[in-house]
Structure 1
């Protein structure tokens, strides 16, 4: 993630709020989507509410939050998230809707930077799609998201049988950092 956010968890939470396309999220759902503990989400949401970046609505015991469209920070935060954390929630939203996609994950330098490995800023994003989707649907989705985040997205499509085979390429992917997008990693 870009070093502009206090933590990777905060960036994931913001990405879910600002980029996922959900109108509102309750705190439990937000914790699940961002992969964070409920207490962490509760503290982060309080900070964001205090800063005016979020609006809150209560329905019974549930707290529903969403970006504050009236905050002058909302669009700049969204723009920063698009280029730093945006590929994951945007790709997830697109790839979930494509028939035949069983799993998808990022690998390569972008995934390594997201996992905290040092190195140069990546120029592109590598995504592995597992299943039997229409390749053109996957390529078109990656093109749309790439245009939004300002980086080329390079999809590799493999069937579940192919992903289980032994090859130098797959060994390198398995041994490198990955970031889940849809479903579970096929070898874990």
Structure 2
């Protein structure tokens, strides 16, 4: 199944290519086998294999053989890697960066993006999002959450607006929560609802 160009960064040939590159080039990126890379990027193995071959031929990715396993990584010698990393940070980085930041904060049960950024990531057409809406469920220290959001904001160049609710508050009914639940959500930690 062919996917279209991602709405947040149409410079990539497909959403799958953007996810594959994000898995390898963004912070926390590591050497991955094609099987692991396909799983992480939510791609079929043959699609990941073809995409990796294209990107190795272009010099964006590099590989090394360990036994029978090919390990793939970003090619730091390529002049394309740094600019691609910058684009990926703005387009897909908030999910990765927020997951890293929030994972170390006690009391975060789950977190997800909602609003226009989540809608674009989910393929819903619309205007370029001006900010990133983050929902955090649990009982974390609010200062720690806001500090984490600020650090991510400084990297991705968009305001990150956290809303913190307890599990009990999330279970309540309100117009706002109904709109959030009925709109696209992108999981950051745990489930998306």
The TM-score range, normalised by the shorter chain, is: over 0.9
Deviates more, 1:146-155 or 1:79-88: 79-88
**Inter-partner Cα distance in structure 2 for 1:51 and 1:143:** 35
1:83 is paired with a residue of what secondary structure?
Answer: helix
**Inter-partner Cα distance in structure 2 for 1:160 and 1:115:** 25
RMSD: 1.4
2:65 corresponding residue in structure 1? 58
Distance 1:13 1:59, change over 3 A: same
1:104 is paired with a residue of what secondary structure?
Answer: strand
Structure 2 segments unaligned to the other structure (5+ residues): 1-7
Mapping for residues 133-148 of structure 1, pairs under 5 Å? 133-148=140-155
2:135 corresponding residue in structure 1? 128
- The normalised TM-score by structure 1 is 0.93
Matched, 1:2 2:12: no
1:180 is paired with a residue of what secondary structure?
Answer: strand
**Inter-partner Cα distance in structure 2 for 1:28 and 1:98:** 31
- The normalised TM-score by structure 2 is 0.90
Shift of 1:103: 1.3
2:17 is paired with a residue of what secondary structure?
Answer: helix
1:106 corresponding residue in structure 2? 113
Aligned residues: 186
- Extract structure 1 runs of 4+ deviating beyond 6 A: none
1:31 is paired with a residue of what secondary structure?
Answer: helix
Match of 1:31 among 14, 38, 45: 38
